[in-house]
Structure 1
């Protein structure tokens, strides 16, 4: 089964032929919302909006462990995670879709392992390459087939949220080598790795990060860009899912 995680702008999966809607109980509590299981692009998928059905859960309070474990319970082997980000370096402009291949985690205080309560030395995971390369390339192949422009690669900086960053913080992230900034790739990616679930992010650049644009940064503009980009995201999903 294929797992889809919807971020800002994708709380509902248009085109999903719903067969079952279930709230899963996990050893780590309840997921953000009931999982919606059905047919999408002729495949069985499980869809979960990470911020809840009505976008009421901020990034730092998402129960990431319950979300990923619920997919694991269903037998999900691949997760496509859609996320909105701010663009830092020049190619990552509003409306761009990118497939990050690296990340830097600046978040704090989030439960980031299933082994926190029962740790042993063998629970360490190799996280050199945090996004599954095979899955990334399948998404890129779908983008090429659909004649879509998608940036292959980039470093995703994960901040705590829910506030947006300061201009000085963005300059620091840029100096650190980040191309984009978001709030949800961690600990999602690490938790998926612990369970051997292939995980890739489809990052939608909703705005230029703080201090990089001459225009005021407004939530209204961010949401408008996300709305305009979701059609492209759905097109990309419908292209890649048959390949999985």
Structure 2
């Protein structure tokens, strides 16, 4: 199978450098319009699909990002491996602004978003016990180190609804009681949807600040965040540039089963399945629905 790398760029990452034959292409989704057109080209011989999560010009808030349409469009574009790049705050002294964290766990505190492709008429339950792909995460960590980035392997990401930042009490709860490492607003339900779409998914969290728990930093300063975002964006592009050489132009089945997540997940009997739902899921679940 051909490797097709999908990159979902977060705050500060609105383009990818060096794509050969790149063209902005709008891909229709059965779940509405994606955040933007997709920049499709090749990097070091490997096909790459880039989507700015917030749209060019940053027009989508974390709650208004069309997560289902974005993942569905990635699947329709032939993507096999999704790299999520996003800004985040840190709950750990040693995870400093400018560092990257390869997230491997999430706590989902979002509440105003559609979180599944499935529903009445076609019910499915996938496992997100391990919501990211270790193989893909390891490649991102290696590419980050090659780019000179300080990277932390593994971390728990608290996904909040936003768009406001945390109160001090919330920040202390997430850090001291729940043991989270970073906080952001966009990786959920994105990671869950990627699993439902049988896509390998890795989360690269780019630290911009210490949230509000840190006694020496206090409230989150948006001007400082923007300054750090600028530096992180360049690092993110350098990380992405290293991925084709690490992942290769062809791929075997995922050793962790990400690309087979729906194998036993669909519970609705074939004769009871809603035809309209079947039509919408032709890309996401076509492999198992026929």
SS in 2 for 1:186: coil
In the alignment, does 2:199 pair up with 1:187? no
Look up the match of 2:212: 210
Aligned alpha-carbon RMSD (Å): 1.5
Partners of 2:37 and 2:29 in 1: how far apart? Answer: 12
User: Given the superposition, is the C-alpha separation of residues 119 and 170 from structure 1 closer, same or farther in structure 2, using an over 3 Å criterion?
Assistant: farther
Stretch deviating more after TM superposition (10-19 or 195-204): 10-19
Distance in 1 separating the partners of 2:139 and 2:220: 34
Residue aligning to 2:171:
170
Question: What secondary structure is seen at the aligned counterpart in 2 of 1:60?
Answer: coil
Within the candidate set 2, 14, 17, 1:11 is matched to 14
Where does the alignment leave 5 or more consecutive residues of structure 1 unmatched?
A: none
Structure 1 or 2, whichever has the larger Rg, is 2
| Local SS of the residue matching 2:209 | strand
Shift of 1:20: 2.5
Which whole-Å CA distance do the structure 1 matches of 2:171 and 2:147 have between them? 33
Question: Contact between 1:31 and 1:66, CA under 8 Å: does it hold in 2?
Answer: yes
The answer to whether the 8 A contact 1:18-1:36 is kept is no
Within a 5 Å distance, the mapping from 1:88-167 to structure 2 comes to 88-120=91-123, 123-167=124-168
Give the conservation status (yes or no) of the 8 Å contact 1:41–1:242: yes
* Deviations, residues 96-148 of structure 1 (Å, cap 9, x unaligned): 1110111100000210100024332xx10011101111111122233344454
CA contact under 8 A between 2:103 and 2:155: conserved in structure 1? yes
Match in the other structure for 1:66: 69
> Gapped runs of 5+ residues in structure 2?
248-290
1:61 partner SS: coil
Once the two structures are superposed, what CA deviation does each residue of 1:1-42 show, in whole Å capped at 9, x if it has no partner? 110000001012233334322212111001000011012243
Answer whether contact 1:42 1:242 (CA < 8 A) is retained: no
Question: Which whole-Å CA distance do the structure 1 matches of 2:128 and 2:144 have between them?
Answer: 26
> What is the CA–CA distance in structure 1 between the aligned matches of 2:57 and 2:147, rounded to whole Å?
31
Are 1:95 and 1:225, in contact at CA under 8 Å, matched by a contact in 2?
yes
Task: Tell which deviates more after alignment, 77-86 or 141-150.
Answer: 141-150
What TM-score does the superposition give when structure 2 sets the normalisation length?
0.80
Evaluate the alpha carbon distance shift between residue 221 and residue 115 of structure 1 in structure 2; reply closer, same or farther with a 3 A threshold: same
TM-score between the two structures when normalised by the length of structure 1: 0.94
